Structure 1
Amino acid sequence: MPNITGHTELVGLMAYPIRHSQSPTTHNLAYDRNGDDVIQLAFEVDNDSLKDAVQSIRALKMLGSNVSMPNKTVVHQYLDEVDDAARLCGAINTVVNVRDENGEVTGYLKGYNTDGMGYWRGLKEAGIDYKGKKLVLIGTGGAAAAIAVRGALDGLASIEIFNIKDKFYDRGVDIAKLINENTECKAEMHDLADLDLLKEKMHEADLFCDATGVGIHPLEDLSNIPDGSFFKPDLIVTDTVYAPRETVMMKQAKDAGVKTVMNGLSMMLFQALIAIELYTGKETDVEYMKEQLGI
């Protein structure tokens, strides 16, 4: 447990709802392991209170704050700078209070997205080389956009994005357009209702990721994939969900003989560790964190 002193520095977590989050546990384990006098606390912040909450990072000289829904796509307007990947994917999950040459925070706030970095770092740590590979991605939300943009910037050959024709579908069209205009990766947007096309693209792909909320309560009994015939044994299958640890989709893939099936725990861990390094400049012992978190 951290020993709170007059010198303890604060990192926030701003979202609504937020009390269920694993983030403070992960962050505070890392700060304690690294010997940092830093603590993360969760604050219930929605769009209406976000402007004042971001100003508090400056006023309280916080190291920064993680940001989750519903704030990821709107927090940029209150920041001084946004990094390229976060700008392209249109979502920010980490706000850093930039330090000066003496290590003091300056009040200059820069936004990053470590979700995409965390997802691909998790695959890399698992020994998966994704450069030049083809990805099928379901979803157009903040996590999906971050995964797509970071993967495109890091060398994916192509991304086939699928989503239902809801209010977020056009966001997927915009993501594909941005990827095509700013990277060497080829991206296309498709209707998830076109199951024949989905199966065709999954059989052509090297990687598959479901980055939607399907699989999380109250949708824990559902899958975006109709049946096991959509999978092939050498497809690398991933889900951004980590509670439950095995979704219906993951079980479908395993039953279909898929050799590599991963949940969202590694993404959750590495997006946090990358954010922690941005706040403190320190890398964290990955194996220690996996052991402590039961990953």
Structure 2
Amino acid sequence: MDAGTGVVGLIGHPVGHSKSPEMMNRAFRALGLPFVYLAFDVSPAELGTAVRGMRALGFRGWNVTIPHKVAVLEHLDEVEETAREIGAVNTVVAREGRLVGYNTDGEGYLRSLVDETGLDLVEQKVLILGAGGAARAVAHALAGAGVKSITIANRTREKAERLAASLRKGDARAVSLSEVERVIGETTLLVQTTSVGMYPETEAIPIDPSLLHERMTVSDLIYRPRKTLLLREAEARGARIHGGLGMLLHQAALAFEKWMGKPAPVDVMRKALEEAMEPAGGG
């Protein structure tokens, strides 16, 4: 690092668990790029101040994570169409004095899902658990990919209904979590987007595991632990499983490419991410 080192980073609250710095900094070193990636714990009350500071300090860009993905929109100069439809931003690019917001979560998720499972998306009947920022990105991406149907189940049904109504393509509907039993039998792709089961509450599970069946793929966006209780229960019942590490990798690679204007070293980033996860016993 020297006076010419550029800065990118991550803002969220909390961020101490993030493995993105290890992954991104390995990528910069692999390509010989004079940049450093840092994580910043920013409280919701300080979000506007943080964005103004990063603009003033000349950051090339940054990632945005919970709980700022929606609130950050009002602090940006421009929001790309997909991110605006989703209603959430996870990547900001500083370009010619303007801050532009993007969302790479949805595309990153699709890349990971198809690469790791080989699913034919147009044949899928999808059930999404949750209706937050991650669910919005995944739902819009899956709708754009042409899945057969999307059902969104959320503790607050009204929130699920708003998300379903925002999906302009395909067949979308909303149910409450208590109604999952009624629709899960026809589900071929279950996507878990909530924080239930995330470290350290690793023995929590978002639905009754007896509802899982062998005709479905179960995808959990959580990457710590690598294999959540939901995935373990799904695997035991003969379902195909898909963890969240690949989404983390591919959304980061897409952000890297927007900042740097060149292909990300995905294999290098994957190795760094896997190594960073090892001390937690695979989580």
Structure-1-length-normalised TM-score: 0.88
- For structure 1, the residue ranges without an aligned partner over 5 or more in a row are 99-105
- For structure 2, the residue ranges without an aligned partner over 5 or more in a row are 276-283
Task: Write the distance in 2 (CA, Å) between the matches of 1:42 and 1:36.
Answer: 18
Q: What's the secondary structure of 2:122's corresponding residue?
A: coil
Q: What's the secondary structure of 1:241's corresponding residue?
A: coil
Which residue does 1:36 correspond to in 2? 33
1:235 aligns with 2:220: no
- Give aligned pairs, total: 274
Q: What's the secondary structure of 2:97's corresponding residue?
A: strand
Q: CA deviation at 1:145?
A: 1.1
Q: What's the secondary structure of 1:117's corresponding residue?
A: helix
Which residue does 2:68 correspond to in 1? 71
Task: Write the distance in 1 (CA, Å) between the matches of 2:126 and 2:180.
Answer: 16
Q: What's the secondary structure of 1:252's corresponding residue?
A: helix
Task: Write the distance in 2 (CA, Å) between the matches of 1:293 and 1:12.
Answer: 16
1:62 aligns with 2:48: no
1:163 aligns with 2:154: yes
Q: CA deviation at 1:139?
A: 0.5
Q: What's the secondary structure of 2:270's corresponding residue?
A: helix
1:118 aligns with 2:103: no
User: How do residues 1-295 of structure 1 correspond to structure 2 at under 5 angstroms?
Assistant: 4-98=1-95, 106-126=96-116, 127-165=118-156, 169-179=157-167, 183-197=168-182, 201-228=183-210, 230-258=211-239, 260-294=240-274
Tell me the amino acid that sits aligned with residue 229 of structure 2. Answer: V
Task: Write the distance in 1 (CA, Å) between the matches of 2:158 and 2:245.
Answer: 29
Q: What's the secondary structure of 1:193's corresponding residue?
A: helix
Q: CA deviation at 1:140?
A: 0.9
Q: Is the 8 A contact 1:85 1:113 kept in 2?
A: yes
Task: Write the distance in 2 (CA, Å) between the matches of 1:191 and 1:173.
Answer: 9
Structure-2-length-normalised TM-score: 0.91
- The superposition leaves residues 141-200 of structure 1 with CA deviations (integer Å, 9 ceiling, x where unpaired) of 1111111112212322321000113xxx43322111110xxx322211100012431xxx
> After the TM superposition, which of the residue ranges 107-116 and 121-130 deviates more from structure 2?
121-130
Q: Is the 8 A contact 1:34 1:282 kept in 2?
A: no
Task: Write the distance in 2 (CA, Å) between the matches of 1:285 and 1:41.
Answer: 19
Task: Write the distance in 1 (CA, Å) between the matches of 2:31 and 2:160.
Answer: 39
Tell me the amino acid that sits aligned with residue 233 of structure 1. Answer: E
Q: Is the 8 A contact 2:218 2:241 kept in 1?
A: yes
Q: Is the 8 A contact 1:94 1:275 kept in 2?
A: yes
Q: What's the secondary structure of 1:271's corresponding residue?
A: helix
Distance 1:90 1:5, change over 3 A: same
Q: Is the 8 A contact 1:130 1:156 kept in 2?
A: yes
Runs of 4+ with >3 A deviation: none
Task: Write the distance in 2 (CA, Å) between the matches of 1:235 and 1:80.
Answer: 42
Task: Write the distance in 2 (CA, Å) between the matches of 1:247 and 1:196.
Answer: 21
Q: Is the 8 A contact 2:26 2:268 kept in 1?
A: no
Q: CA deviation at 1:132?
A: 4.7
Tell me the amino acid that sits aligned with residue 155 of structure 2. Answer: I
Identity %: 36
Q: Is the 8 A contact 1:213 1:219 kept in 2?
A: no
- The superposition leaves residues 231-266 of structure 1 with CA deviations (integer Å, 9 ceiling, x where unpaired) of 3323111101111111111111111011x2111100
Q: What's the secondary structure of 1:224's corresponding residue?
A: coil
Q: Is the 8 A contact 1:85 1:150 kept in 2?
A: no
Task: Write the distance in 1 (CA, Å) between the matches of 2:158 and 2:112.
Answer: 29
- The superposition leaves residues 16-72 of structure 1 with CA deviations (integer Å, 9 ceiling, x where unpaired) of 111211111111111111221111111111221111211223211211111112211
Task: Write the distance in 1 (CA, Å) between the matches of 2:122 and 2:83.
Answer: 20
Task: Write the distance in 1 (CA, Å) between the matches of 2:266 and 2:85.
Answer: 29
Distance 1:227 1:19, change over 3 A: closer
Q: What's the secondary structure of 2:206's corresponding residue?
A: coil
